[in-house]
Amino acid sequence: MKFYFTFLASVFIVLNSFSQVSDFIPGNSPLLILTTNNTPDGYTGSPYVEKNFVNGVIMDTDGKTHPAFLRYNTVEDVVEVKLALSEPDTFVLPKLKNISYRMNGYTYVLDSFRTDKGETLEGYFMNYYDGKKVKFYARPMPDITPAEKAKTGYEKDKAAHLNVKTDYYIALNNGPLKNVRLKDKDFKNALPASKEVDKYFKEVKVKSVEDFVKMLEWYDQQNF
């Protein structure tokens, strides 16, 4: 309990600029919720994007920050928080758009977007790049392989398996999200046609998320 209120006091510094903060003062309603961090019963695999808690920063829209250890749970759609890796307890903050979580070259943001297919996507997104002309997001989702009964007496039943599937999106000029794979062809089709973009992909090897982020940083600096 002592740790709980110490944690509240620490994170209060991050949140004290929010008008909602009065709703989360201890004794009124809890600022933080104790959670479990296990894979759901009956499943193998993991619901987490990050296998372990990683060093990160909790941020608010006024630029206030607080260091923490973080990981994202795709099943519960929450960012789990520890102030110290040695602590047994795991917490989550209220799901507010004012709060984001920065780690490992990306930031978890809570938002709602329209896609170019007319769909509405809501929840936490990984913001990889937030440029003037283009933005690059990822949306991690739980991917479940159903359980299988043994077909013969020599086999064993297979438990349902939980993986994380990640969909990637770019948005041009604050427009709708366009789904892309991490492939040159998808990005060339999603971006306005230009000889410069074609030349970039011919001259630069682009495979990883980080490579595509560098490509979009380059794109944002061009005058076309």
Q: pLDDT digit string (tens) for 26-79?
A: 334 344 555 555 677 778 899 999 999 999 999 988 888 999 999 999 999 999
Give the integer Cα–Cα distance in Å for 171 and 149.
Answer: 43
Checking if the pLDDT of 113 tops 50, the result is yes
Tokens matching residue 126: 């990984």
Per DSSP bridges, beta strands 99-103 and 91-92 are unpaired
Q: Kindly report the number of other CB atoms within 10 A of residue 197's CB atom.
A: 19
Where do the DSSP E strands lie in 61-211?
Answer: 65-73, 78-82, 91-92, 99-103, 106-114, 120-130, 134-145, 160-172, 177-180
DSSP lists the bridge partners of residue 12 as none
Across 182-203, average pLDDT: 93
Give the integer Cα–Cα distance in Å for 22 and 89.
Answer: 24
Model confidence, pTM: 0.82
Q: What is the pLDDT of residue 129?
A: 98
Task: State the chain's mean pLDDT as an integer.
Answer: 84
Query: Which has more pLDDT, 110 or 31?
Result: 110
Q: What is the pLDDT of residue 153?
A: 75
